[in-house]
Structure 1
Amino acid sequence: MGRRQFFRTAAAGISMIATPSVASDIIFRSGTGNSSSDSPSPLLLSRAKAALETHKSRIRNRDLLAIADFSKPSRDPRFYLVDLRGGQSNSFLVAHGKGSDPAHSGWVHNFSNTHGSEATSAGAYAVGETYFGQYGESRRLIGLEPQNDQAEARAIVIHPAWYVNQTLIQEQGKIGRSQGCFAFAQSDIAQILQRVAPGTLLYADKL
């Protein structure tokens, strides 16, 4: 092969290399969460980043994304804290609402924004202020989209819960259900509240 043909072939090869997608610009490193599978799916991460851009006027903390992947069963750590600046992600157990899983299968079957549904709502939330309620230290959530804009009125919040733990998973293959809230293990709530600070975006969905 002559020099001219070689360089033409090389240039053609370079032009065929795919450009990384928006969701692949983070190189995940091992985190300190509860699972070796600490990285959210690229598609869900892409959706969460798009929501961050859409609602940026309501979000003060743009270095971290909180993502709940309700495509996964409740026995799996499916709540991700994604450090957009450092490229690190950790995962934790999180409960879904009774109304999203009436038969208590451990899977989310549907979302709802309706009062009294006790279901999880999908979409983007702005993390609100801290308060002390029946479960202890908790944090309010503000729904930013039509599919979750009743979150405050429904008292959908972040809180700890006794029914989120590894013992239940070992005994019944799933954790308990909330009334639509994002409920976490007592052992994880301190880290969740520290990192998912007021002004952070929380994104929930299933693929």
Structure 2
Amino acid sequence: MRTLLVSKISLSLFFLLLFTAPCFSKHDVGIQVCQSEAYTLYNELQLEQLGLNQSVFAKALKGWSELKRQNLLRSNVLSIVDLSQSSNSKRLYVIDMEKKELLFNTYVAHGRNSGQEFALDFSNELNSYKSSLGFYLTDETYQGIHGLSMRLKGMEKGINDIAEQRGIVMHGAPYVSESFIQQNGRLGRSQGCPAVMEELCEPIINSIKGGSCFFMFYPEATYIENSKLL
């Protein structure tokens, strides 16, 4: 398998190079997916209609493929949080790359110091109460003050690598709901965690726990320039 080319190439060239390897199969999900199947997946899952820009999907696939190449993933599920979207939008996408299914498309909170309706500022610092961008590995689950929760391990040095020290986890929260949006004009915010709807917390966590790729993206120049996975 060829190693993915790194950043600073055009999106069109990126797709041409990224998706020329053999397609993934049921028994062996390839490190790279073929061009036709990738476009088909994006279109069949109606990701554009659901608000996910193709360039964000491309970046997610690039990092996912690199983590696969490094044998770091134990699951073929890819989760994408598109923080360029309003928190009032369903901006969490959970995709089974083997079965080619969209498992979940729902709301997800950002850190309270990252912004109001929109997340605009990000941090890798303790007590910042901001979201951290980049690629994570999903880890173990536990029962905490929010009930079932799942730890996240940041995979990008200087970008999200102290997520565990910061206590960045996925959990359910009452402020992640359509009723909260209706009453407040925006989704509620966390202390930096990607909090989800309480009623969906358990099924989402059970689908992605234990070594899947979790990607939080915003088109921040500093992140794009410094990430080694994009």
- With normalisation by structure 2, the TM-score equals 0.73
SS for the counterpart of 2:195 is: strand
Q: 1:169 aligns with which of 170, 181, 197?
A: 181
Unaligned runs of 5+ in 2: 1-14, 17-34, 220-230
Task: Name the structure 1 match of 2:112.
Answer: 98
Please say if residues 90 and 106 of structure 2, whose CA atoms lie closer than 8 Å, have aligned partners that are also in contact. Answer: yes
Please say if residues 181 and 188 of structure 2, whose CA atoms lie closer than 8 Å, have aligned partners that are also in contact. Answer: no
| 2:145 is the counterpart of 1:134 | yes
Structure 1 residue 123 displacement after superposition: 0.3
Larger RCO (CA within 8 A; separation ≥ 6): 1
What's the C-alpha RMSD, in Å, of the aligned pairs? 2.3
Unaligned runs of 5+ in 1: 1-17
Task: Name the structure 2 match of 1:118.
Answer: 129
Q: 2:41 aligns with which of 8, 20, 26?
A: 26
Where do 4+ consecutive residues of structure 1 move more than 3 Å?
18-23, 27-31, 35-39
Q: 1:205 aligns with which of 193, 196, 217?
A: 217
The alignment of Structure 1 onto Structure 2 pairs a total of residues equal to 183
- Greater Cα radius of gyration, structure 1 or 2: 1
Instruction: Please tell me the residue identity of whatever aligns with 1:78.
Output: R
Paired residues for 1:82-97 under 5 Å: 82-89=95-102, 90-97=104-111
Task: Name the structure 1 match of 2:54.
Answer: 42
Please say if residues 111 and 120 of structure 1, whose CA atoms lie closer than 8 Å, have aligned partners that are also in contact. Answer: yes
Instruction: Please tell me the residue identity of whatever aligns with 2:91.
Output: R
Structure 1 residue 172 displacement after superposition: 2.1
Please say if residues 24 and 42 of structure 1, whose CA atoms lie closer than 8 Å, have aligned partners that are also in contact. Answer: no
Question: After superposition, what is the alpha-carbon deviation per residue over 1:36-90, rounded to whole angstroms, capped at 9, x for unaligned?
Answer: 94463221111111111222222111x2100000000111100001122233323
Task: Name the structure 2 match of 1:183.
Answer: 195
Please say if residues 121 and 204 of structure 1, whose CA atoms lie closer than 8 Å, have aligned partners that are also in contact. Answer: yes
Give the Cα–Cα distance (whole angstroms) in 1 for the partners of residues 100 and 51 of structure 2.
Answer: 10
- With normalisation by structure 1, the TM-score equals 0.81
Task: Name the structure 2 match of 1:64.
Answer: 77
